[in-house]
Chain A
Amino acid sequence: MSDVAHEGISGGPPEAEDISWRKRYWKKNLRLMITLLAIWFTVSFGFGILLIEPLNNIVILGFPLGLWFAQQGSIYVFVILILVYALWMDRIDDEFGVAERNEEGGYK
């Protein structure tokens, strides 16, 4: 962990290595975020609003599929998206040595 010693010290150019972990961390975070937001948009605005009418021609258990996405499906997906984000960020945190797991008091 020697590469972190100069972290956050202002004045003078930060060390090249220091900057590089931050950039990689942030890039991974952004990529995950954008992927999850694309799914978020597709199930809610895509299936639940823009494509609701064609999807309603498919009926499952009495639910027209578009209506199901608008009233149920999108919410299930939202919950899963946030869980995936939290779990995935844990992995990224571990990879970069910034995990906070211990501070939560024996979680996991």
Chain B
Amino acid sequence: MTETQFWTFFFIILTFGIYIIIAWRSRVKETKEFYVASQGVPTLANGAAVAADWMSAASFIGMAGLIAFLGSDGSVYLMGWTGGYVLLALLLAPYLRKWGKFTVPEFVGDRYSESVRIVAAIAAIVVSFTYVVGQMAGGGIVFSRFLNLSVEWGVVLVAVVIFVYAVLGGMKGITYTQVAQYTVLIIAYLIPAFAVAYQTTGIPVPQISYGQILTELDSLSVEFGLNEFTEAFSGRAGGQIDVFLVTLSLMLGTAGLPHVIIRFYTTKTVRGARYSAFWALFFISLLYLTAPAVGAFTKLNLLQGVQGQGPDSLPDWINTWGATGLVTVNEDAESIQTVSNLATSGADLIVNNDILVLASPEIGGLPAPIVGLMAAGGMAAAMSTAAGLLLVISSAASHDLYFRVFKKNGASEKEQMMVGRIAMGVAILFAIWAGINPPAFVAQVVAFAFGLAAASFFPILILGIFWKKANGPGATAGMLTGLAFTGTYMIYTLEVFGTSANEHILNVSPEGIGAVGAAVNFVVTIVVSKLTAPPSAAVQEMVEDIRYPQTRKAAVRS
């Protein structure tokens, strides 16, 4: 066992143990605890849980690497994934909390109609499931690199741990586990970042000090055939329009993703939902403000490390990561002249985006315990998001489909809990299977999940809250056209389900189409609502009622 492996085992066993203990202590017996943690989660804890829920393997493992190669255009992820929280905090969270039941499809069902509920429940399952497969695969990569475990067993191990704490503790267990996972992942992210920043510039605040290396990074990048880090619109082929639309899609998608929204149902009050949103973005920003610095420093260290080196004198990390197939050196090259993140580019050194964060301590020459800590952080990010998504899948399947559609006469508390747990168990089995045999679309998971959430949920939630006249037929038509339009364009432009990738229309990439789909959904919902009868007085009164934090009299209406 190498030193790195020892420390990885140490941190993984330690953190997994903590998660299980927390789950055991917060195990639940009632549906209200299972789905929304009895709406008793303190604001600060909920903020940390949202942050862990939100920051997935993509944020932790992938994002800084993407930014390193995209440069300025990497801001689509930074602004998109954080700016959505402003929309969520101001336009959705307080109102959905006031209405306050268990799931997003349930709000949609009460506000519009049963058919919209079913569409929403299916959309929630599809979006969450696509996303969860990516988390499983991400966890598998971490295990195969650091523990020499096969990817299959890595996925199974992750799934077993999630199963224990999610099925046992439901939302309550997941919430407090996520608080612990946030702590682990943020420590694991910040320590190496601060160390690398100090080593490179002498200032241990990466957010400030990466400015100092930008000029050097630009000239070095050009030397290796890469685009300049600081030049706008050089990283994405679609240019300014595409950067605009992708940022907007990610923002609308963030605000519309069910696994994030339901976390705001768990606070004690409407006021608590507002402050939860603040703490959530505060905790998220600690990682997101650091990611571009990690990207810049790691890229600089990487390029400096291979500059002028022949195949025999390359840094050690190239060999260790070479074993995973994520780093390849062109055997014909006498020295490294070109570097790329694209496998097809034919460059002398090809580095996959996804390894930059996990490899940053090694690239920067940091000691083994930090490498182990990084692995535990990556696992925490993948597991916390996977657990949150599995809860959405389970609640949509049991609460919104099974009990509303098949068992209308109602069921006992015990029966509901049982079905919720069985649904979660089935979802985990599916996730294991899909994590081991990832379907082709996992690579485009980001585009799919966010684009579809932006085009389906965001418009009908906003109109449901801010426009009393929005009605069931309008929402059904809007959601279906938004989904169909966005899905069709994605399938047209991406290589998925055996289709071939076609040219982008008007420079709009598949990641950016969700914003257009959302506009289509808005227009269709409004037009159809105008042409059909307005919703009942009771529904309009409900919309009126969610606008105010609490009724001014003592008695609570239900």
Contact = CB atoms under 8 A, between A and B. Distances in A.
A97 B85 CA distance: 27
A49 interface: yes
Interface in A1-51: 1, 4-5, 7-8, 10, 21-22, 25-26, 29, 33, 36-37, 40, 44-45, 48-50
A18 B214 CA distance: 59
Interface of B: 43, 67, 72, 74-75, 78-79, 82-83, 85-86, 89-91, 94, 207-208, 210-215, 230, 232, 240, 243-244, 247-248, 268-272, 274-275, 277-278, 281-282, 285, 288-289, 292, 537-538, 541, 544-545, 547-553, 557
A8 B230 contact: no
A104 interface: yes
Given A62-B212, A71-B78, A98 B232 contact: no
A61 B72 contact: no
Contacts, number: 162
A14 B66 CA distance: 57
Contacts of A101: 271
B213 A44 contact: no
Interface of A is mostly: helix
A61 B82 CA distance: 24
Interface of B is mostly: helix
Contacts of B550: 98, 100
Interface residues of A, number: 56
Given A44-B83, A72-B292, A79-B282, A98 B211 contact: no
B86 A1 contact: no
A98 B243 contact: no
Centre residue among A40, A48, A81, A89 by max chain B CB count within 10 A: A48
Contacts of B74: 71
A58 interface: no
B85 A78 contact: yes
A44 B82 CA distance: 10
A29 B537 CA distance: 23
Given A45-B244, A93-B271, A64 B230 contact: yes
Contacts of B271: 86, 89-90, 93, 99-101, 103-104
Nearest to B89: A82
Contacts of A26: 547-548
Given A74-B83, A104-B43, A37 B544 contact: no
A43 to B, nearest CB: 9
B40 to A, nearest CB: 10
A100 B278 contact: no
Given A36-B86, A100-B270, A82 B281 contact: yes
